[in-house]
Structure 1
């Protein structure tokens, strides 16, 4: 099991570069109670039910941490994001990536309630406390229908495409905007959101 530090995850003690946590949300009303597993605080495992073939079977998967539907944004933030902020300030590349089916709460988890201890607030606060010169830049990249789009590009040409290069991973032509505080970041996020592509699906009217 992973060691904890003030509710957070000690990366150096796990010896792994990629950490996977799961956040569950309440199911739709038509779901039966049997198919709605609600993990308890501190759980690291999650059962996956397979309704067919009969008899019903399920598998158990183990993760670094499992958050139940009652978990708050601040709980996820403190456990997943806080522990890596110091690494970011030290110059290490860190990524927080949300993955899941349409309608499972990815956008809310990444952009939801702006808690007092949110990532942006802490980043700028830590940088200011260090008393050193720093530069923070923001870029917004959308992958839509297996193509790359720059959401901050000043160009109105929707057919303009970006190029992706490997080793190291570089996106050629991706716009970068220098920011000085979290409010400027929020403005950029709103600007980029206006350019996002949306597509209707059977799961969600707006698939993001």
Structure 2
């Protein structure tokens, strides 16, 4: 996904680096590349327009893998912070108060700069599977360990997972922060186990509504 880049300390308005919507920094967030590339939800969003391009060009499997590799390395190599709008913030898990402060003050989030692509390839590959229907052949498959209790997404062995106790889930659902009903009953000891995309969306909504996630 192309980015309309601004340097830190530049004009106070710009665009969201995820959706390209106009963005006032007072209402946005500043994220590090690490925050971005560890989000399967982000990779899904970035890959959707890529699929449309791939389909229009009728690329073969070798060319498809080249597209995956180029996107992975280009995104992981971003050195400047990412400006993210409120809507797109639902794709990521991060310290929202700190990220807002960095956006307002035009300062760099901790850990900003390029990251090793090998540390985020799982999340890009899982998103590729979601968008294209198959795991990229140049990435070693991960073992499937579980499925999300909210959306049934496959959860892999190295993936982030989150536990929402029954009482907290009841609170979130009563305030309309969860879309629909969980697809699975609560687990006897843990409540519900959810994936990163579902957790990111839930945490963003809880923060906006003034509800803690602990």
Higher-RCO chain (CA-CA 8 Å, sequence separation at least 6): 2
Superposition TM-score, scaled by structure 2 size? 0.25
Which structure has the greater CA radius of gyration?
A: 1
Superposition TM-score, scaled by structure 1 size? 0.25
Q: Name the one with the larger helix percent.
A: 2
Q: Name the one with the larger strand percent.
A: 1
